[in-house]
Amino acid sequence: MSFTDLHLIEPLLIALEKNKYTIPSPIQMQCIPHILNGKDIFGCAQTGTGKTAAFALPILQLLESKKNPEVARKVKTLVLAPTRELASQISDKFREYGKNLTFRHTVIFGGVSQTKQVAALTRGIDIVIATPGRLLDLMQQGIVNLDAVEYLVLDEADRMLDMGFIHDVKKILAKLPVKKQTMFFTATSPANITKLAATILKNPIHVNADPISSAPRKVSQKLYYVQRPNKTALLTHILKSGHVPHVLVFTRTKRGADRVAKQLNSIRIKAEAIHGNKSQGQRERALQGFKDKSIGVLVATDIASRGIDISKLSHVINYDLPEVAETYVHRIGRTGRAGESGEAISFCCAEETEYLRDIQKLTGNKMEIISKHPFA
Ligand code: AMP
């Protein structure tokens, strides 16, 4: 199947060609026809499955086909996302896919001055991609009007709930027109998510890509048993081997992320930490440095890393194992994306064996144990 078979319009096809997308991903094949047909979607998909294009392409096409001068430059599409990074990435994708169309989009998130965001909104905008807190703030100031919204996307809804955005999300939803088409994406579907989806969606089509219970294919998983105090020495040993030049390292805590980055820098391995206590500017600089490879090691906590889209990420290291097994699958999903192969390396100390058991239960124990290392 090609994108032409999905009946996408020429301006989108040209943009996709430019992006070198040739074959739609499974979630795109499943979503695009239904969204074009006006259906609500409940999508179970992680980042890395191509879900952004799965909703952005048909939304752009619908906006184009229903162009109405009366609602030109009013917010017709609202995308809610849990983090600034994810919102920015979605915004980048709308720019790429929509570059042969004339819609204006903007991204709204907290932690930065609202001046530019307000200016973009008052100039008139078709598509808003936002994190819930700042959007609600601007709504309460009377700066953003959502009366004309026709398409609503909730991306990474599970994470929005985990991050405590449920009340903000509900307040925003209450201000939207009743008649609209809604696309709801989540990586996991615990009870609170299905309950929320049931209150929002009308006869949704359920799509499922890359179920959370299976680790992404093409990612080889390695496990090092190591005592907690030796973790940094083991990390340094692996980084100095030269096989792992570009790596996302996960720690459980913000303090841990800072400590690991500092220790690596002290031995001249360029590393940056990103987590919730860093300013927006610091996070963006770190991410940009990592993307352009001037920084080899990005040390992150789960929330900060969520949704980060770095193509061709070859390695992920779990410096600390996550307490929740699904998080392991999210983490290693950062590597081996879009057909690339990847390697996930995990450290496990005595205190973490319980977490390891849960992970192995969820993923079917595909980890290779590396017993020969200096800190075994
Ligand atoms: P997402 O899951 O939306 O974050 O997308 C993951 C990555 O896959 C992004 O870097 C996209 O640019 C890329 N991508 C999305 N759809 C396709 C496709 N059909 N072919 C190749 N790459 C794609």
- In the chain, where are the structural domains located? 3-209, 219-369
Matching CATH number, 3-209, of 3.40.50.300, 3.40.30.10, 3.40.1640.10, 1.10.1760.20? 3.40.50.300
Strand 181-186 to 367-369 pairing: unpaired
pLDDT above 90 for 261: yes
Report the relative pairing of strands 271-274 and 297-300 from DSSP bridges.
Answer: parallel
- Residues 368, 222: contact at Cβ < 8 Å? yes
Given a cut of 50, whether residue 259 has pLDDT beyond it is: yes
Strand partners, 287: none
Q: Calculate how far, in angstroms, residue 338's C-alpha sits from the geometric centre of ligand 1.
A: 6
Q: For 347-359, how does the pLDDT look when each residue is reduced to its tens digit (9 = 90+)?
A: 999 999 999 999 9
What is the mean predicted confidence (pLDDT) over 309-337? 83
- Residues touching ligand 1 (Cβ under 6 Å) are 21, 23-25, 28, 47-53, 309, 311, 337-338
Task: Quote the pLDDT of residue 324.
Answer: 86
Check for a shared fold between 3-209 and 219-369.
yes
% of the chain exceeding 70 in pLDDT: 95
Of 309, 311, 313, the one to substitute when testing ligand 1's pocket (max ligand atoms within 8 A of C-beta) is 309
DSSP structural state of residue 374: T
pLDDT in tens, 23-66: 888 899 999 999 999 999 999 987 778 899 999 999 999 999 99
| Residue owning the nearest CA to atom 18 of ligand 1 | 21
> Which pLDDT does position 215 carry in this prediction?
46
CATH code assigned to 219-369: 3.40.50.300
Mean per-residue pLDDT of the chain: 91
Give the mean pLDDT of 59-76. 91
- Residue with the smallest CA separation from ligand 1 atom 20 is 21
Task: Confirm if 220 and 289 have CB atoms less than 8 A apart.
Answer: no
Residues above pLDDT 90, as percent of the chain: 70
Quick one: pLDDT at residue 350? 96
Residue 305 has pLDDT above 80, yes or no: no
C-alpha 24 to ligand 1 mean position (Å):
9
Nearest to 269 by CA among 240, 299, 290, 249: 240
> How much is the average pLDDT of 2-19?
94
